[in-house]
């Protein structure tokens, strides 16, 4: 107990209670006539009065009670079981299920000493509702590194005693798990599932092919093959086209297996004879005594486009942006790019589907006739502004963005994604990363936009989010216009490679911008937009829909239904959600196969539909490798201070966990304070003392 005032004041409080009682009972004694019963009871009554009055006086000093509470937190024991298909498809699947059941029993036995949490993982980590018994072993991919990272994120700053990781050590997604195994600071005890023996097997390891080709193009398909314990065998490798009416043989080759182990590469030349998604299947027949036939076949999906587009990249002067934009266009595969300096341009726009004006028009090259011709011919145009751009000439060339330049200087600006943008979709990881991209240089001035302007990115100047456009799109008449109000976009490409080791995010951003501008304008009142037309298993199907009234203003009042039908006639029915002025749908993942869809709605009594198709490709990663990698698991354990165990050594695993002195409970001490004056029991105690004292006085003749 502590007091808000000095404890020396307790003495005056007690003295006050005593003096008050003495003064009271001297008066009472005189008034009572000095009866014998009153004299006998007076000391007890005075004592009660002293205690009650002194207690009230002490409460005026605001005493506070402090409660100390100790709670013991058991060490966390995290069980993570590999739930990937390689453990079901491999030759040792029965023993893997038996090991999972034994692990479940081990969890129950350790529950008294540890706070046990159970997880399963494949491409992602998922918490199990009970234990790890009866796993499905159906995950199509394995990412060991992501599983360990997810455990770290979820249990950082917790008392994690140990991780028990049961796996075959095979991973086909993500990084090497050894690089992130120490982040949790907890030992990793590994249990080796699967079979480490290399069995007789013939398989296709990798494939190399362009996923985007053009109609009537001939493209190369390269396959890497390998074989174990099959010297002297001859295997026929067939390449087939899978079509609605069945399969069609395109080519076949005989492979002579000349060693053990054996590896070779085989190439096929394929003609893209039909637009759309081309489904190819390459595979061997099974070998006698082969460990698995599932890795003998691979399915490939090629997107065949029916036309190329020509693009003119017209620039004021050489600039690093030009190389970055040209590389993106050429990487898309569906553009033929002409890069021309303004001083060399002859003024002809014949055959171009898209024109990019880099820092044009400028004072040196006004290009008045060219910009008029672009409007007249209705050729989509992307303006890239920079230090050489002339704001007044730019304002006359288009009507989406107006700039009132102040002094010709440049601002460093960063990108801020506008979530209301709906002309096309960008991946969420890209939109989240845009704020981290380096700044671009934008002409300093006051920016204004027209009502038909749709901002993909706005300018962030310093720490201030502005409504100035950085990357904007719209239509002038029926011509699509884009404005990138800054130069230096090559920095984004370099930064993307530095961060991720590739240019995928940059290519997605700029590629979709070019694709939107170059595609012919769609003036339908109702349309659907798929993020792409080729998905993989376990990848969510994302769809947008747009509905316009007769004035071509967006509306989203009516309901929109979405029906997907697979090749066997099975239907999946959905309904769009409203988001801003558009409709969105996250349909989740679908099994591998070919799908057609129909979106339906009504507007002003008219039935509107939008149809299309897409393909879901199977993930075959788990069928490629069945030989367990226990060496990786042992390395994980050794680097983290744990140990490796076989499935038959789970008793030793339990003993090792209990014997590890570093795995201990943590005692958490908490302190709570409460003012004594708020204690209800104390109120009734004081009331009781005064009541008893008053009753004794009345019974003994007092007043």
Q: What is the pLDDT of residues 296-308, one digit of tens each?
A: 888 888 888 776 7
The residue-averaged pLDDT of 284-307 equals 81
Q: Are 189 and 656 in contact (CB under 8 A)?
A: yes
Round to whole Å and give the CA distance between 292 and 196: 15
pLDDT of residue 571: 94
Would you give the distance in Å from CA 286 to the centre of its chain?
40
pLDDT digits (tens, 9 = 90+) for 153-204: 888 888 888 999 999 888 888 788 877 555 667 899 999 988 887 788 888 8
Average pLDDT, the chain: 86
Q: Is the pLDDT of residue 4 over 80?
A: no
3-class DSSP state of 77 = strand
Q: What is the pTM assigned to this prediction?
A: 0.54
Q: Which helix (H) or strand (E) holds 47?
A: helix 36-59
pLDDT of residue 315: 95
Q: Are 116 and 77 in contact (CB under 8 A)?
A: yes
**Percent share of the chain, pLDDT over 90:** 33
pLDDT digits (tens, 9 = 90+) for 220-274: 999 999 888 888 888 899 999 988 778 899 999 999 988 888 999 999 999 988 8
Q: Is the pLDDT of residue 38 over 50?
A: yes
pLDDT of residue 131: 47
Pairing relation of β-strands 561-566 and 571-575? Answer: antiparallel
Round to whole Å and give the CA distance between 37 and 41: 6
What are 273's two structure tokens?
């004879």
Would you give the distance in Å from CA 541 to the centre of its chain?
15
The residue-averaged pLDDT of 570-599 equals 90
Alpha helices in 360-486 (DSSP H): 368-377, 391-397, 428-433
Total Cβ atoms within 10 A of residue 562 = 22
């Amino acid at each position: 107990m502590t007091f808000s005032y000095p404890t020396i004041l307790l003495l005056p409080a007690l003295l006050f209670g005593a003096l008050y009682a003495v003064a009271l009972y001297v008066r009472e004694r005189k008034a009572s006539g000095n009866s014998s019963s009153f004299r006998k009871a007076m000391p007890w009554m005075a004592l009660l009065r002293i205690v009650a009055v002194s207690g009230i006086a002490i409460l005026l000093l605001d005493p506070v009670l402090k409660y100390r509470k100790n709670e013991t937190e058991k060490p966390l024991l995290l069980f993570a079981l590999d739930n990937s298909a390689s453990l079901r498809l491999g030759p040792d699947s029965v023993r893997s299920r038996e090991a999972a059941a034994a692990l479940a029993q081990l969890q129950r036995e350790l529950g008294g000493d540890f706070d046990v949490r159970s997880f399963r993982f494949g491409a992602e980590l998922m918490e199990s509702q009970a234990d790890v018994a009866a796993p499905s072993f159906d995950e199509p991919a394995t990412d060991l590194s992501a599983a360990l990272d997810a455990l770290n994120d979820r249990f950082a700053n917790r008392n994690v005693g140990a991780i028990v990781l049961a796996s075959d050590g095979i991973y086909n997604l993500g990084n090497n798990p050894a690089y992130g195994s120490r982040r949790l600071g907890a030992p990793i005890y590994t249990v080796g599932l699967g079979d480490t023996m290399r069995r007789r097997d013939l398989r296709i390891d990798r494939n190399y092919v362009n996923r985007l080709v053009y109609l009537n193009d001939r493209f190369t398909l390269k396959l890497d093959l390998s074989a174990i314990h099959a010297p002297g065998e001859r295997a026929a490798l067939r390449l087939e086209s899978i079509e609605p009416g069945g399969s069609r043989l395109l080519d076949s080759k005989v492979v002579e297996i000349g060693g053990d182990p054996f590896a070779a590469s085989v190439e096929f030349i394929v003609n893209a004879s039909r637009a759309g998604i081309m489904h190819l299947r390459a595979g061997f027949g099974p070998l006698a005594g082969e460990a698995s036939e599932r890795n003998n076949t691979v399915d490939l999906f090629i997107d065949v486009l029916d036309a190329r587009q020509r693009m003119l990249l017209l620039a004021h002067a050489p600039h690093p942006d030009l190389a970055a934009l040209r590389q993106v266009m050429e990487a898309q595969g569906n553009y033929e790019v002409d890069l021309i300096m303004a001083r060399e341009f002859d003024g002809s726009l014949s055959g171009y589907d898209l024109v990019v004006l880099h820092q044009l028009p400028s004072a040196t090259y006004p290009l008045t006739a060219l910009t008029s011709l672009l409007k007249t011919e209705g050729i989509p145009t992307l303006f890239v502004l920079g230090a050489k751009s002339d704001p007044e000439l730019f304002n006359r060339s288009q009507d989406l963005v107006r700039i009132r330049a102040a002094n010709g200087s440049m601002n460093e600006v960063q990108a801020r994604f506008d979530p209301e943008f709906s002309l096309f979709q960008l991946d969420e990881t890209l939109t989240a990363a845009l704020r981290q991209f380096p700044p671009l240089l934008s002409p300093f001035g006051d920016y204004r936009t027209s009502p038909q302007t749709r901002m993909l990115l706005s300018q962030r100047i310093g720490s201030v989010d502005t409504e100035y456009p950085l990357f904007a799109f719209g239509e002038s008449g029926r011509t699509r216009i884009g404005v990138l109000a800054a130069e230096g976009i090559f920095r984004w490409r370099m930064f993307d490679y530095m961060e991720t080791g590739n240019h995928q995010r940059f290519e997605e951003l700029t590629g979709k911008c070019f694709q939107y501008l170059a595609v012919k304008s769609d003036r339908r009142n109702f349309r659907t937009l798929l993020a792409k037309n080729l998905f993989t298993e376990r990848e969510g199907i994302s769809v947008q829909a747009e509905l316009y009234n007769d004035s071509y203003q967006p509306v989203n009042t009516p309901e929109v239904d979405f029906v997907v039908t697979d090749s066997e006639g099975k239907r999946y029915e959905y309904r769009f959600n409203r988001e801003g002025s558009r409709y969105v749908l996250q349909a989740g993942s679908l099994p591998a196969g070919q799908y057609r869809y129909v979106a339906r709605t009504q507007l002003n009594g008219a039935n509107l539909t939008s149809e299309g198709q897409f393909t879901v490709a199977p993930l075959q990663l788990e069928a490629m490798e069945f030989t367990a990698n226990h060496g990786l698991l042992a390395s994980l354990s050794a680097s983290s201070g744990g140990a490796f165990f076989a499935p038959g050594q789970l008793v030793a695993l339990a003993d090792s966990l209990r014997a590890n002195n570093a795995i201990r409970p943590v005692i958490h001490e908490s302190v709570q304070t409460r003012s004594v004056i708020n204690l209800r029991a104390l109120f009734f105690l004081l009331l009781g003392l005064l009541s008893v004292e008053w009753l004794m006085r009345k019974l003994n003749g007092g007043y």
